[in-house]
Structure 1
Amino acid sequence: MEPLSAAFTIDLRRLTVLRELQRRGSLARTAQALHLTPSAVSQQLAALARELGVPLTERDGRGVRLTGQARVLLAHADVIAAQLERARADLAAYTEGGRGTVTVGCFSSGILGLLPATLRALRERLPRLRVDVVEAEPPDLFTALDGGQVDVAVAVDFAAAPPHTDRRYTRENLLTDVLDVALPPGHPLADRAAVPLRELAAEPWIVGGAMSCCGAVTRSVCAAAGFTPDIRHDIGDWAALAALVEAGAGVALVPRLVRPLHVHRALALRPAEGEPPSRNVFVAVRAGAEGDPVLGAVREELRAAAAALVPA
């Protein structure tokens, strides 16, 4: 390739493709996340490499891996993206806040437990602000956040979520959401003050998909208790899950964020014995966007909604 020019420029759209490849690990998954073809992804990466005069990928069996030069560039890419977000925030602060549209991406039980109070408070505080809600979980949630389709991400810490050290995001914890054991009426353990999870090893389980946050947490909690759950029903909808538990089809772990859904159901919700299974709920924005006054208001009302739930 040609040596680096003192006047080289970077196409930020192509840089986004490289950042997504780092996250996804393959051309096919990168293409799927960005709604492109693998050929288009390869073309974007090749064009960026030509712009810079350095190789960015190399063959690795049937796939590709990032070169050392690509990793150097990606370290700068995080700084570039954060600085652009700061510029956006400064422009928003310069003009009158409280107008326009903010899109919040959130997991399903967070939508049920956190967003109603948040949206009501924002309507009173910023009546000219339109807030759109998208149901999404990592890693797709953070691909949308990177691409600007989502402005605020509310998520749970699990394997698919970005690590705390990821410099692309400014994040803060909202609450610890405890998961209770859901048992059918008349179950032998339904009268216990707390349920030993190990005693449910032989029960049929109702669990969300392995790639969902609650499905992943349930599997890890059962593994920590010393067993692999016998998953008979793969259910991602909380109302449907509760209906199956009530019908005696199995047992489940249910987050307290969705307890209002179950108040009229004939099922037993009991804490797990010992250290309660839980998941950390956090909010994130793109690094540099934390100074945006409107996004700051959204984050503040999310904190208030989370704080109101903690005593319960």
Structure 2
Amino acid sequence: MDIGRLRALRELSIRKTMAAVAEALHVSPSAVSQQISLLEQEVGIDLVERRGRGVNLTIAGRMLVERANRIFTELESARADMAELKEVVAGELRVAAFPSVAAAFIPKTIRALSATHPQLLVQFDEMEPEEGLNALRSWQTDVALIDDLNIPPGLLDPGIETIPLIEDVFNVMMSPNHRLAHMEEVTLGDLSGELWVIDTASSTYTRVLTDACQNAGFTPNIVARCKGFEVTLSLIREGCAIAIFPELRASFDLQDARVCRLVPEIRRRIFVAFRKGEKKSPALQAFIQSICAHTTDFADPPAA
């Protein structure tokens, strides 16, 4: 069977539509449809069935994807073995990470790797944890930084391995002139009457925030929803709203803003995720070693 056609089928099992697969593989939807049709001709059985605008895999399609997963894992493992024998860290490593973690660690890691391994090129894409994990599953990236709020460990594929990177806590951010700005610690109850701004990049973040406030006896009055930190920070500085953000994000670029510790704590664990078959890849090992070294500057190491 053709590897490219198997890859297209595997992508379809994840992304559900021909258009989404085409975007991921950088081809046209008609090319994807043709790949699937040719694969069906190869195996002599229907692999997909259309349901409205989407596509579902048949029993045969799901069985073939399971086999394809093992095939791709073996291929990546073989590639890692060959790279290990070269004893040279070289080539290209694709990395996906979400903004707060990326800003804290990725630039320093890339700079360190370029100095120690000049033949290694790191390609970076900013992705939210769920998006990064999907990219990892579909071989669109080699490494994904994820957290346990967006990706509970029990939902990880068996073919994905993780290494704990760091634990992060959430802080309250407000204007320096806010009535609570003089306090070192703030409870959610203290914030019950406040106006809130939230980052809408992650629906999980909104859910965690809302659930925490409701457990404290109130529903947050959200008056601003932003896709980027720049607008959010401007609203906070001008006293238009307050926000809760991870400590990693609150560790820089915060002139004219006050950060207070939230109690009780809301924490998240951050992991480096990669495909198990590539664990021995010299490039992957170099990246993990470098990024782990740069987390030592932060106060909350991962729990044992």
Category of TM-score, reference length = shorter chain: 0.7 to 0.9
Task: Tell me which residue corresponds to 1:288.
Answer: 277
- Name the SS of the counterpart of 1:205 in structure 2: strand
The CA RMSD over aligned residues, in Å, is 2.7
Q: How does 1:40-51 map to 2 (within 5 A)?
A: 40-51=31-42
Structure 2 Cα separation of the partners of residues 118 and 130 of structure 1: 12
Task: Tell me which residue corresponds to 1:224.
Answer: 212
Structure 1 Cα separation of the partners of residues 249 and 139 of structure 2: 29
- CA spacing shift, 1:161–1:16, aligned 2, 3 Å: farther
- AA in 2 matched with 1:282: F
Task: Tell me which residue corresponds to 2:81.
Answer: 90
Shift of 1:167: 2.7
Q: How does 1:138-287 map to 2 (within 5 A)?
A: 138-146=129-137, 148-159=139-150, 164-209=155-200, 212-213=201-202, 216-226=204-214, 227-263=218-254, 265-274=255-264, 276-287=265-276
Structure 1 Cα separation of the partners of residues 53 and 118 of structure 2: 53
Structure 1 Cα separation of the partners of residues 263 and 38 of structure 2: 57
Tell me the alpha carbon deviations over residues 239-262 of structure 1, each in whole angstroms, 9 at most, x when there is no partner: 442232011121111211123324
- AA in 2 matched with 1:278: R
- AA in 2 matched with 1:267: A
Q: Contact 1:169/1:286 (CA < 8 Å) preserved in 2?
A: yes
Q: Would you say how many aligned residue pairs link Structure 1 and Structure 2?
A: 298
> Where does the alignment leave 5 or more consecutive residues of structure 2 unmatched?
none
Q: Contact 1:242/1:262 (CA < 8 Å) preserved in 2?
A: no
- AA in 1 matched with 2:256: A
Structure 2 Cα separation of the partners of residues 270 and 22 of structure 1: 44
- CA spacing shift, 1:252–1:76, aligned 2, 3 Å: same
Task: Tell me which residue corresponds to 1:114.
Answer: 105
- CA spacing shift, 1:185–1:44, aligned 2, 3 Å: same
Tell me the alpha carbon deviations over residues 41-62 of structure 1, each in whole angstroms, 9 at most, x when there is no partner: 3332222222112221224345
Shift of 1:176: 1.7
Instruction: State the TM-score, normalized to the length of structure 1.
Output: 0.83
Shift of 1:148: 4.6
Of 281-290 and 55-64, more deviation after overlay is shown by 55-64
Q: Contact 1:138/1:161 (CA < 8 Å) preserved in 2?
A: no
Shift of 1:22: 2.0
- Give structure 1 regions of 4+ aligned residues with deviation exceeding 6 angstroms: none
- CA spacing shift, 1:232–1:278, aligned 2, 3 Å: same
Task: Tell me which residue corresponds to 1:33.
Answer: 24
Which of 117, 123, 126 is equivalent to 1:126? 117
Identity fraction in percent: 35
